[in-house]
Amino acid sequence: MRKAVNDINRCVACGVCCKECPRQAIEIYKGCYALVDTGVCVGCGICEKACPAGSITVSDTEEGR
């Protein structure tokens, strides 16, 4: 299964990914970084393309293999 993962060290908490996510699977945690709800994320990649900091990547997870 594909899921979005955020590198919190690169994230600037701008919220662009939150606005672009069609499933509303991302929120800004305590104003510090984007937090992906992997239970809601479908791995569409829209957030990865929208992230200006390049902190989000969509990749395969071990779950579902």
Check if the beta carbon of residue 3 is closer than 8 Å to that of residue 41.
Answer: yes
Q: Which comes out higher in pLDDT, residue 64 or 4? A: 4
* Sheet strands (E) in 1-65: 2-6, 26-29, 33-36, 56-60
If one looks up domain 2-55 in CATH, what number appears? 3.30.70.20
Check if the beta carbon of residue 32 is closer than 8 Å to that of residue 49.
Answer: no
What pLDDT, in 10s, does the model give residues 6-47? Answer: 999 999 999 999 999 999 999 999 999 999 999 999 999 999
Query: Would you list the domain boundaries of the chain?
Result: 2-55
Q: What is the pTM of this model?
A: 0.88
Q: What is the DSSP code string of 32-46?
A: TEEEE-TTT-----H
